[in-house]
């Protein structure tokens, strides 16, 4: 019981710690965004411009852009305290509704990328650590270096060229074939075919990172006493590696996973733009291009909350993977 | 008897065959010329803010908007008006009364008939809300809607530009019963529009696509030929090219595919590329000069800059051969173009001499003075500015390039008149009253982009533009505009560089893509898919 209470206290403490972080994110981003040059009213009224001063004034008034920065910030803080993220200038919809519409696509993309990164990265790292001097290990090391060096947007374009144009196996943009009609299974298959290229693009750098990290971590663990003991007990090699060694070696990967959620969200902006994936990253890109302040702010708040949740989950996972931490 | 019977049969057979053969050939050729129906046209273009082009300018709204909303007139390849929602029209001899007879059978997508009331409501809405509204319709004094199928525009003064302002892009006929409720900017129909054009709105998935489907009740019999139009929004330039190349996209208007990619695609057998269809837009690029600041306030300095830039090089090397070097202040395809102006040839000696004469001698470091160069964010425009910097250095002008992070950032700087030279692109539109005079008349010196931000003030130019605006006689009107161009060309408030340069890339499986002066900003009712069903 005491353990449950302390666990609940721990979670509550972490959530309370998150509140000033979110407020900090709001104030900092709000100020930075509004200090950047550019008037959204000009973009809003007409792509070909030529709006009269009266029309511009009216638009600025309608969206509260005629008020001072401090006034605008105060109004915004009051709104978000009530759970109102504001109204998108350009999309003509409440920001929360827009984010909720787009977030499933981003979560699907990010989770798939994480899954691919963990599976391929850890497997590659473990395989490389088992035979550190083999040709395969050298190949994995070179691949990791390649993965680190590739800019996400370039890699995305290369994948599109390779697998959509020259070998037309997979669709190169969108999440679903426009106007597709069919049962759930048919639609799921279509989404899956659209998901493969962007997910691999996003995962690529993390596959490289995880493989290097798990290789280093495994090399350290494989040489430790308890692994030698496990081998001496006559356990099969597979059990020694995957049951005993990997469990300890995976802890550093979990540590960086929490931190990387933020990076993954940033990477998703690029990947979603290259692949026209209809997620939050695309929404952010459009928002920035058009100075849609409420939309950008809403996405930043949401992203910061996602990062906080991911870090919290990482801490909890730590305890799950390593019982010693749980007992502490 | 038998012989006779046999020969009679033979003759009858031959005659029948002779008669039938041309008939068969005729029927076959008829079957061949029948326009195929069905199919989906997939396009890529920029995502609009909303779909009510009565209150917003720009092609992202205009291209889909022309599928939804019909207008009174269309235009042919020579700017000649053609019937659309107006089946005929009449202009009074004094040029102050325009009468249009509407298509009686025309209905909106919700089945309600289109009346003169709707046309009047549309014009009032555009006048009050569209960026060009006042400029286009300030002459309209009263609209007579007493007959539901006849609309009469009473003008305060003769206004020959009026006809050009009746294309659906500029005057979309919107239903009063839908858009007349509440404040127009907040009307939900701006996002789910109801019009009377060849296609009906089906769905808009933000950031993804808009789908339109055939309007079965379209007033042009048998049109449209296509079943659906899908406009997809793909922000990445490379992804757009790949989509076109894989056949997933069939039409990309307004240079929305990078120049080098478009030129490469045009060499493939399945694609075509055309610069036709942008005459009414009359796009041109120029360096706007802030005339308030010396030394740019000196005409000789501006002329020196004009002589230092090789327009042929810019068009050939930077715009990759697309468009033409600018040879006059008005677009060459427009009806009022001046084709006999002395050209500012590329001549560095002349440029240096002009600067010396203006009193800006080279200092010890070889330079005369500094200027800033801004440009509307665009990689090609940046290249032009980089080229200009090197050219200006050759005549002793030290140019500092000031990049803007994005469009709003650039717009803020220009509307605050915080620039020396600004490389920009503006549309002339089909009549000088709509698109050209806004840049030069003194009452349009405003802190707004695409107005007279240069601060140009010449009473003679103001007078000529004002006179031309109401001149009914085409020859006299043209003469006034020729005089305007002579003055502008001599005074150089803008240093004109290139004109045109927009292009459309399309898949050859689709025919009937509009190529008149408005090009792809037109209803696509005549577009058909060659592989459709020939019914």
Q: State yes or no: pLDDT of A290 exceeds 90.
A: no
CB contact under 8 A, A172 and B134: no
Residues B466 and B327 in one domain: yes
* A159-182 mean pLDDT: 87
CB contact under 8 A, B448 and A172: no
A178: which chain B residues are within 8 Å (Cβ-Cβ)?
Answer: 42, 208-209, 211, 230, 232
A44: which chain B residues are within 8 Å (Cβ-Cβ)?
Answer: 49
CB contact under 8 A, B242 and A165: yes
Asked if residues B492 and B299 have their Cβ atoms less than 8 Å apart, the reply is: yes
Closest residue on chain B to A177 (Cα): B248
Tell me whether residue B2 is in a domain.
Answer: no
Residue A48's pLDDT is 46
Percent of chain B exceeding pLDDT 90 equals: 77
Tell me whether residue B28 is in a domain.
Answer: no
* B75-85 mean pLDDT: 95
**B188, B208, B225 — which closes off a domain?**
B188
Residue A239's pLDDT is 84
Provide the shortest C-alpha distance from residue A179 to chain B (in Å). 8
Tens-place pLDDT, residues B142-156: 999 999 999 999 999
B97-to-B104, B154, B430 alpha-carbon distances in Å: 21, 5, 21
CB contact under 8 A, A286 and B207: yes
Provide the shortest C-alpha distance from residue B228 to chain A (in Å). 10
How many structural domains does chain B have? Answer: 3
| Structural tokens at position B62 | 């205009």
Q: State yes or no: pLDDT of B367 exceeds 90.
A: yes
Residue B535's pLDDT is 67
CATH number of the domain to which B243 belongs: 3.40.190.10
Tell me whether residue B494 is in a domain.
Answer: yes
Residues B378 and B513 in one domain: no
Within a 13 Å sphere around the CA of A94, how many CA atoms are in the beta-carbon half?
8
Residues B92 and B231 in one domain: no
Residue A247's pLDDT is 79
Tens-place pLDDT, residues B305-357: 999 999 999 999 999 999 999 999 999 999 999 999 999 999 999 999 999 99
Least confident piece of the model among A93-102, A256-265, B174-183, B345-354? A256-265
- Ranges assigned E (strand) in B126-208: 140-147, 150-155, 199-205
* B23-36 mean pLDDT: 63
Residue among A46, A92, A101 minimizing CB distance to B56:
A46
* A38-59 mean pLDDT: 66
Give the ranges where B80-195 is alpha helix by DSSP (H): 116-129, 133-137, 176-179
Q: State yes or no: pLDDT of A178 exceeds 90.
A: no
Residues B198 and B112 in one domain: no
CB contact under 8 A, A179 and B451: no
Q: Which pLDDT band holds residue A46 (cuts at 50, 70, 90)? A: low
β-partners of residue B86 are B102
**B188, B223, B256 — which closes off a domain?**
B188
Residue-number span of the structural domain to which B222 is assigned? 40-44+190-276+503-534
Q: State yes or no: pLDDT of B473 exceeds 60.
A: yes
Closest residue on chain B to A282 (Cα): B207
Structure letter (DSSP) for residue B342: P
More confident residue, B15 or B135: B135
Residues B149 and B208 in one domain: no
Residues B157 and B177 in one domain: yes
Q: State yes or no: pLDDT of B468 exceeds 90.
A: yes
Do β-strands B150-155 and B97-102 pair in parallel, antiparallel, or remain unpaired?
antiparallel
CATH number of the domain to which B75 belongs: 3.90.76.10
Interface A–B counts its CB contacts (< 8 A) at 159
Tens-place pLDDT, residues A117-149: 989 988 888 888 888 888 888 888 888 888 878
Residue B267's pLDDT is 95
More confident residue, B449 or A255: B449
Q: Mean pLDDT for chain B?
A: 92
CA distance B16 to A65: 83
CATH number of the domain to which B304 belongs: 3.10.105.10
Tell me whether residue B105 is in a domain.
Answer: yes
Provide the shortest C-alpha distance from residue A166 to chain B (in Å). 9
Tell me whether residue B9 is in a domain.
Answer: no
Residue B216's pLDDT is 96
Residues B509 and B477 in one domain: no
Sign for the CA dihedral angle at A40, A44, A49, A55 comes to: negative
β-partners of residue B402 are B374
Burial label, A54 (beta-carbon count in 10 A; 0-12, 13-18, 19+): exposed
CA distance B50 to A295: 16
Least confident piece of the model among A46-55, A189-198, B184-193? A46-55
Q: Which pLDDT band holds residue A1 (cuts at 50, 70, 90)? A: very low
Tell me whether residue B50 is in a domain.
Answer: no
Q: How many CB atoms lie within 10 A of CB A172?
A: 28
**B140, B172, B188 — which closes off a domain?**
B188
Residues B178 and B93 in one domain: yes
CB contact under 8 A, A43 and B408: yes
| B312: three-class secondary structure by DSSP | helix
* A80-102 mean pLDDT: 85
Residues B407 and B314 in one domain: yes
More confident residue, A114 or B454: B454
Asked if residues A36 and B405 have their Cβ atoms less than 8 Å apart, the reply is: yes
Residues B349 and B386 in one domain: yes
Q: What is the H or E stretch that residue B286 is in? A: strand B283-289
Asked if residues B54 and B129 have their Cβ atoms less than 8 Å apart, the reply is: yes
B427: which chain A residues are within 8 Å (Cβ-Cβ)?
Answer: 48
CA distance B255 to A154: 22
Residue B384's pLDDT is 96
Residue B20's pLDDT is 66
Residue among B57, B185, B246 minimizing CB distance to A165:
B246
Asked if residues B73 and B166 have their Cβ atoms less than 8 Å apart, the reply is: yes
Least confident piece of the model among A62-71, A221-230, B249-258, B463-472? A62-71
CA distance B45 to B61: 10
Report the residue of B41, B236, B405 to disrupt the A interface, i.e. the one with the largest count of A CBs within 10 Å.
B236
Asked if residues B252 and B237 have their Cβ atoms less than 8 Å apart, the reply is: no
Residue A232's pLDDT is 87
Tell me whether residue B35 is in a domain.
Answer: no
Residue A93's pLDDT is 82
Asked if residues B348 and B390 have their Cβ atoms less than 8 Å apart, the reply is: no
| A299: three-class secondary structure by DSSP | helix
For Cα atoms A219, A122, A112, give the angle at the middle one, nearest 5 degrees: 165
Asked if residues A108 and A200 have their Cβ atoms less than 8 Å apart, the reply is: no
Residue B88's pLDDT is 97
Tell me whether residue B14 is in a domain.
Answer: no
A285: which chain B residues are within 8 Å (Cβ-Cβ)?
Answer: 235
Residues B215 and B250 in one domain: yes
Provide the shortest C-alpha distance from residue A38 to chain B (in Å). 4
Residue among B60, B238, B406 minimizing CB distance to A38:
B406
Asked if residues A159 and A201 have their Cβ atoms less than 8 Å apart, the reply is: yes
Q: Mean pLDDT for chain A?
A: 83
Which ipTM was obtained for this model? 0.70
Provide the shortest C-alpha distance from residue B427 to chain A (in Å). 8
Distance of CA B83 to the CA centre of its chain: 19
More confident residue, B138 or A61: B138
Residues B251 and B373 in one domain: no
For A95-120, b where at least 16 C-beta lie within 10 A, e where not — what string? beebbebbbebbebbbebbbebbbeb
Residue A3's pLDDT is 59
CA distance B317 to B349: 23
Tens-place pLDDT, residues B407-462: 878 888 998 999 999 999 888 888 999 889 999 999 999 888 888 999 999 999 99
């Amino acid at each position: 019981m005491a353990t449950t209470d302390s666990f609940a206290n721990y979670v509550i403490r972490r959530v309370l710690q998150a509140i000033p972080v979110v407020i900090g994110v709001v104030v900092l981003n709000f100020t930075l965004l509004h200090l950047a040059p550019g008037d959204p009213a000009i973009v809003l009224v007409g792509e070909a411009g030529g709006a009269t001063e009266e029309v511009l004034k009216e638009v600025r008034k309608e969206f509260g852009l005629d008020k001072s920065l401090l006034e605008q910030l105060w109004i915004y803080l009051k709104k978000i305290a009530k759970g109102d993220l504001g109204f998108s200038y350009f999309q003509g919809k409440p920001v929360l509704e827009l984010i909720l519409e787009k977030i499933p696509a981003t979560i699907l993309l990010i989770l798939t990328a994480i899954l691919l990164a963990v599976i391929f990265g850890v497997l590659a790292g473990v395989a490389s650590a088992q035979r550190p001097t083999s040709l395969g290990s050298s190949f994995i090391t070179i691949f990791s270096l390649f993965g680190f060096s590739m800019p996400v947007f370039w890699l995305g374009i290369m994948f599109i060229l390779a697998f959509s144009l020259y070998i037309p196996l997979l669709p190169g943009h969108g999440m679903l074939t426009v106007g597709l009609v069919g049962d759930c299974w048919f639609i799921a298959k279509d989404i899956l075919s659209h998901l493969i290229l962007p997910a691999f693009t996003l995962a690529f750098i993390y596959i490289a990172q995880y493989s290097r990290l798990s290789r280093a971590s495994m090399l350290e663990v494989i040489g430790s006493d308890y692994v030698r003991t496990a081998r001496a007990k006559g356990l099969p090699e597979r059990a020694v590696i995957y049951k005993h060694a990997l469990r300890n070696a995976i802890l550093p990967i979990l540590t960086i996973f929490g931190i990387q959620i933020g990076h993954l969200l940033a990477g998703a902006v690029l990947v979603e733009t290259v692949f026209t994936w209809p997620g939050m990253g695309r929404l952010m890109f459009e928002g920035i291009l058009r100075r849609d302040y409420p939309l950008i702010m809403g996405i930043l708040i949401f992203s910061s909350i996602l990062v906080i949740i991911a870090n919290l989950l990482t801490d909890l996972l730590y305890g799950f993977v390593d019982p010693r931490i749980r007992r502490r | 008897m038998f012989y006779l019977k046999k020969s009679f049969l033979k003759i009858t057979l031959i005659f029948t065959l002779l008669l039938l053969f041309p008939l068969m050939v005729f029927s076959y050729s008829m079957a061949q010329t029948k326009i195929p129906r069905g199919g989906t046209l997939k396009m890529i273009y920029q995502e609009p803010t909303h779909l009510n082009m009565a209150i917003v300018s720009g092609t992202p709204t205009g291209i889909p908007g022309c599928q939804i909303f019909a207008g009174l007139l269309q235009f042919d390849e020579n700017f000649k008006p053609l019937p659309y929602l107006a089946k005929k029209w009449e202009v009074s001899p004094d040029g102050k009364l325009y009468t249009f007879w509407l298509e009686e059978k025309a209905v909106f997508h919700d089945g309600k008939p289109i009346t003169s009331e709707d046309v009047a409501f549309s014009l009032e809405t555009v006048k009050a809300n569209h960026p060009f509204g006042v400029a286009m319709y300030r002459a309209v004094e009263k609209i007579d809607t007493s007959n539901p199928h006849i609309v009469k525009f009473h003008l305060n003064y003769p206004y020959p530009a009026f006809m050009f302002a009746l294309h659906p892009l500029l005057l979309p006929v919107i239903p009063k019963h839908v858009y007349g409720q509440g404040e127009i900017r907040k009307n939900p129909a701006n996002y789910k529009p109801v019009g009377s054009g060849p296609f009906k709105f089906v769905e808009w998935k933000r950031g993804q696509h808009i789908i339109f489907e055939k309007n079965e009740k379209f007033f042009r019999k048998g049109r449209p030929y296509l079943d659906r139009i899908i406009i997809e929004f793909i922000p990445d330039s490379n992804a757009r090219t790949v989509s076109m190349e894989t056949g997933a996209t069939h039409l990309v208007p307004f240079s929305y595919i990078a120049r080098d990619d478009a030129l490469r695609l045009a060499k493939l057998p399945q694609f075509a590329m055309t610069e036709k269809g942008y005459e009414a837009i009359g796009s041109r690029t120029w360096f706007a000069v802030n005339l308030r600041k010396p030394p740019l306030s000196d005409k000789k300095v501006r002329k020196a800059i004009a002589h230092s830039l090789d327009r042929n090089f810019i068009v050939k090397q930077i715009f990759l051969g697309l468009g033409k070097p600018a040879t006059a202040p008005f677009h060459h395809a427009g009806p009022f173009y001046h084709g006999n102006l002395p050209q500012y040839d590329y001549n560095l000696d002349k440029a240096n001499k002009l600067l010396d004469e203006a009193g800006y001698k080279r200092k010890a470091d070889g330079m005369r003075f500094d200027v800033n160069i801004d440009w509307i964010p665009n990689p090609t425009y940046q290249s032009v500015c980089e080229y200009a910097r090197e050219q200006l250095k050759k005549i002793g002008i030290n140019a500092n390039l000031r990049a803007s992070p994005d469009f709003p950032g650039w717009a803020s700087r220009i509307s605050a008149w915080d620039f020396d030279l600004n490389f920009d692109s503006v549309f002339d539109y089909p009549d000088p009253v709509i698109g050209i005079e806004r840049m030069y008349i003194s009452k349009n010196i405003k802190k707004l982009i695409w107005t007279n931000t240069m601060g140009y003030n010449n009473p003679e130019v103001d007078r000529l533009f004002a006179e031309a605006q109401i001149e009914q006689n085409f020859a006299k009107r043209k003469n006034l505009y020729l005089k305007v161009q002579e003055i502008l060309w001599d005074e150089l408030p803008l240093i004109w560089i290139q004109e045109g340069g927009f292009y459309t890339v399309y898949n050859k499986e689709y025919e009937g893509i509009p190529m008149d002066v408005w090009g792809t900003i037109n209803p696509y009712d005549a577009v058909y898919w060659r592989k459709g069903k020939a019914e």
